Amino acid sequence: MGGIGIYSKGVSERIETVFEDNIPFYKGSSFHARMVWMAPEKGLLAGKITGITKDGTLKLTDFNGKKWEVKADSAIWRGRLSPVPDLEIKLIGNKTDKNRFTAKEIRPWHGRKKNRGNGKRQGKMHQPMNNKFS
């Protein structure tokens, strides 16, 4: 019962992050998840938003350091997220060119409260992105 409580509070994710950040040889579940999500040819991509253009295109640097332009205007955002710089996300969609990707669905990279940009709940769950950026 205690293990379920620890898991539901996100403690295991925090411990995993501390280990990965502080122990050079440690490769936890995050490492394996990155391998799975770094497959743009199969429609999977993950990384950090580095910018957002006026037309809503996301500038993304994947976890291998490659830069992408992501068309996300009709994507469904899961986890009550909205696009903000420095947000780590994973995407389901299609690679359309060497460094371009069209997202159908965008999810938080980490679960729970860890990855919500400025820490506040943003956007509406299960809604296509229709934000205007200046």
List of domains in the chain: 1-28 (no CATH), 38-128 (2.40.50.140)
- Residue predicted with more confidence, 22 or 74: 74
Assessment of whether the complete model's pTM goes beyond 0.85: no
pLDDT of res. 121? 40
Would you tell me how many other CB atoms lie within 10 Å of the CB of residue 99?
A: 14
Report the C-alpha gap between 108 and 111 in whole angstroms. 6
Over residues 8-52, the pLDDT tens digits come to: 445 655 665 665 666 666 555 555 566 788 999 999 999 999 999
The confidence score (pLDDT) of residue 35 equals 74
- Per-residue pLDDT tens digits for 83-127: 999 999 999 999 999 999 999 999 998 864 444 444 434 443 344
